[in-house]
C-alpha cells in the first residue's frame, strides 16, 4: 500500500510552547489529508480535513486557532499545536487520501506522533 510518514514520532514540549508535526505522502500526491487525535484507550477522533491549497475544515469542538493546519503541497501537511498545555498531550495521527483508484479510494495513515506537554 501507499506510504504516509509522520515526523516526529515522539515529542516533548514545555507548556505554553508550540510544536509542529509533519505528515508526508511518500509515493503519491494527496489532495486531501486528515488529522486525528487519540487519547489512551479511546478511538480515533477526527480533528480536521485539509485540502491542498485551501483552508482546513475543522470538526465541531476543535479550536482552529489552537490547532493550525497547513497543506501547502500535495505531499505535505503540517499540524501545529499552539500554546500547548498538558491536556493536549495525545497521540496525533494523520492520513492521506490516495486518488485515482477506480474501486473506492483508499485512505492511508501515518505512524502517529506522541505529544507530551510538560
Partner 1 sequence: DAKTTQPPSMDCAEGRAANLPCNHSTISGNEYVYWYRQIHSQGPQYIIHGLKNNETNEMASLIITEDRKSSTLILPHATLRDTAVYYCIVKVAGANSKLTFGKGITLSVRP
Catalog residues that contact partner 1 under the rule CB under 8 A. 1, 4, 6, 31-32, 34, 36, 43-46, 49, 51, 91, 93, 95, 97, 99, 103-112, 114
Cβ closest to partner 1, residue 72 vs residue 83: 72
Cβ closest to partner 1, residue 77 vs residue 95: 95
Contact 3, 27 (CB under 8 A): yes
Q: How far is the CB of 17 from partner 1 (least distance, A)?
A: 24
Cβ closest to partner 1, residue 8 vs residue 16: 8
Q: How far is the CB of 62 from partner 1 (least distance, A)?
A: 13
Beta bridge partners of 68: 80
Beta strands in the chain (DSSP E): 4-7, 10-13, 19-25, 32-38, 45-51, 57-58, 67-73, 76-81, 90-98, 106-109, 113-117
Q: Biggest alpha carbon distance in the chain?
A: 46
Amino acid at each position: 500500500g501507499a506510504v504516509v510518514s509522520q515526523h516526529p514520532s515522539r515529542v516533548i514540549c514545555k507548556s505554553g510552547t508550540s510544536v509542529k508535526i509533519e505528515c508526508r505522502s511518500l509515493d503519491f500526491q494527496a489532495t486531501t489529508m486528515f488529522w486525528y487525535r487519540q487519547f489512551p484507550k479511546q478511538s480515533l477522533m477526527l480533528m480536521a480535513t485539509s485540502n491542498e491549497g485551501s483552508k482546513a475544515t475543522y470538526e465541531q469542538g476543535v479550536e482552529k486557532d489552537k490547532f493550525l493546519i497547513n497543506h501547502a503541497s500535495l505531499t505535505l501537511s503540517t499540524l501545529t499545536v499552539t500554546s500547548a498545555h498538558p491536556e493536549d498531550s495525545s497521540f496525533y495521527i494523520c492520513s492521506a487520501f490516495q486518488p485515482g483508484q477506480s474501486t473506492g479510494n483508499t485512505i492511508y495513515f501515518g505512524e502517529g506522533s506522541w505529544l507530551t506537554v510538560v
